Structure 1
Amino acid sequence: MDKNNTPIRVFGLSHAETLALRQLALQKYGKASVSLLAKNTLKSLLSEEWSSDLDQGGKDMSSEPLPQGKMRLELKLPPPLAAYLTTAAEQGKMSANRRALYILAEYMENHPILTDSEITALYQSNVQLGAIGRNLNQIARHLNAGEGVSLTARYISNLEAVINGHIKQVGNIIRQHRQRQEDRFMP
C-alpha cells in the first residue's frame, strides 16, 4: 500500500448512522461514499498551514512510533487460524488480540533470535570444539594403540585454555540473551 494513502477504520457507528452519512455524502458530493465524506471532512479540519507544511515536505508523523512504544498490527488470517485463535481466546477468557500477543511472546521466549555477533561467536565456538575433539581423538588413538604419547604440560595447558575460552564465550552469549529477555519482558 502507498505510504501516502494510509487507510483509517472507524468503529462504533450504528447502521442507521452509516445510512445517514451515506445520504449526506450523496447530497454533498453526488456519491454515497462515507469514505469520501470522512476524508474531505477530516481534510477540512486540518489548518491550511499544516497542509502546506505536509505538501512542502514538512514533518511526516506516520514514521513516529505509537505512544508507549507500541505498534499496531493487523493480520488477515485464513479461516482455520482465525477459528483456532477465537477458540483459544474464548477458552482463556480474553480477547483474540491478547491471545495472539501471548502466542507471539511465548514463541519468542522458546525460539530466541540471535544477533549476528552471537551467531558468529557460536560458529567460531563450534570450530574450536571441532579442533578440541580432533585433538582428543588423536590422543585416544595413540593411547589405545599402546603407543607412547608424550603429553607435555604446555600442550595440556593450551588445550585447557581453549576449552576455558570456549566456555567463557558461550557463557557470554547466554548472559547477553538472558539480559535481553529481562529487558524485553520486565518493566
Structure 2
Amino acid sequence: MGRTLQGTGQEARRSNQGSNRATAKKTQSLPPSRTYQQTKPIPYEEPKVRFEILLTPSEKAALTERDEAERCSQRRWIIDAIRAGLTNEAQFGMSDIEALGESNYQLLAIGQNLNQIARKLNEGVHDPVQTELIKGLSAIIDRHTHIVNVAIRASLERWVLE
C-alpha cells in the first residue's frame, strides 16, 4: 500500500519543493516564448478552428463581469486576451476604442488649425522658427493619429499572426 502524507504537512511541502525544482529545471531548458506579429487582416470568409475551454464558476463569473463592463462578447474577450498574450500588443474594448477615436478626432482638428496658422504665417512676414515648429507639431500629430488608427484596427479586426 502507498504511504499517505498526514500530520503537519512537512512531508507534503518537501514533496512539493522537489516537484517545484523539477518544474524550474524544465522551465529553464525551454526556449524563450515567441512574440507574434499581426501582419495582415484575415479575410472574413476564412474558416476558424473550434477550440473549447472549461472554466471554473468563479472564472466564468469574472469573465461575464469583464465582458459586460467592456461591452463585448465573452468569445471576443477571450480572443483579445489570447491575442494580447501572443503579440504583446494592446487589444482594446469598445469604450477604449471610442475614447481613442475621439482623441484622434480632436488631434486631427488641432492639426488642421495648425496647418491653417502655418499657411497664414507663410503668406506674410513671419518668424521661420515658428513656422517650422508648427509644421513639426503637425507631423507629430499625424504620426500619432496613424499609430492610434493602426492600434484600433488591430483590435477590431482579426489578423494573421506570424
TM-score category, normalised to shorter length: 0.3 to 0.5
Q: Which has the higher contact order (CA 8 A, sep 6+)?
A: 2
TM score, norm. by length of structure 2: 0.36
Give the number of the structure whose alpha-carbon radius of gyration is greater: 1
TM score, norm. by length of structure 1: 0.32
